[in-house]
Structure 1
């Protein structure tokens, strides 16, 4: 009978070598692939198998390729100003993203950025309204409104000129 506290008997199927935790620094345990190799004929990260269309990549370019994209990119921002008249400023960028977002990566990037900013400002406005009950919100509400107006106008002008614009103070909820 074997000792219950002693080392387990060796299995003839198991490769003989040093146990997993006892390799010298930088050496792989026996039977493992070295780091960075692709086992089982897998594609390296970020590469598509041959014959498949590439995934739509996020926009990383320097500007729109045509004036129509520039117009829709600007509309993603200034539509928030128009939507504010019905107290739902996030509807304009949302509509632009749904209508033209799949056709142009530039328009989608601008619409997502504007939508995230409008939703963030909505959250800030609700928090300021709640804080009005302790008198702090009366100071915060005009500041939030002024920040919304100034940054929305800046975003509209930049996007209409074909530049990417990232709003400050934005919670990135939509990607």
Structure 2
């Protein structure tokens, strides 16, 4: 019997993901507008989070707006939870607090979508910056 010879196999290069091509300016603007309007249809912070994760690195304008919207939606979620606790603790005396938070969020989201449609870099006021 002959002994098997162990030849050294050529090393494969490590996996390198292919970078996604940058978005066209029109597509980047469209997604920047949508990232502010998606929470209005009940998607909350998940819409901006998914857009930011999917399109990260494909355009600085869209990435900025996705992070801004995500930060704002997380801040609104915290504000709504605090206002609901306040309603429960005060036995409904501050019943308008959740409505005020929702109305303020609605106005600021529309302003952000309009700013994105004009190619403006918008920053939400009174927002906790979770993602920078």
TM-score of Structure 1 vs Structure 2, range by shorter chain: 0.7 to 0.9
Cα displacement (A) at 1:157 = 1.3
Gaps of 5+ in 1: 1-63
More helix by share: 2
* Compared CA separation, residues 101 and 136, structure 1 to 2 (3 A): farther
Q: Which has the higher contact order (CA 8 A, sep 6+)?
A: 2
Give the Cα–Cα distance (whole angstroms) in 1 for the partners of residues 66 and 94 of structure 2: 29
TM-score by length of 2: 0.76
| Whole-angstrom CA distance in 1 between matches of 2:87 and 2:115 | 34
| Aligned residue in 1 for 2:34 | 75
> Mapping of 1:57-68 within 5 angstroms?
66-68=25-27
Structure 1 position 154 matched with structure 2 position 111:
yes
Match of 2:54 in 1: 99
1:134-173 matches, cutoff 5 A: 134=90, 135-173=92-130
Deviations 1:1-22 (CA, angstroms, capped at 9, x unpaired): xxxxxxxxxxxxxxxxxxxxxx
Structure 2 gaps, min length 5:
1-22
- Bigger Rg, structure 1 or 2: 1
Runs of 4+ in 1 over 4 A off after TM superposition: none
Name the Cα RMSD after superposition: 1.7
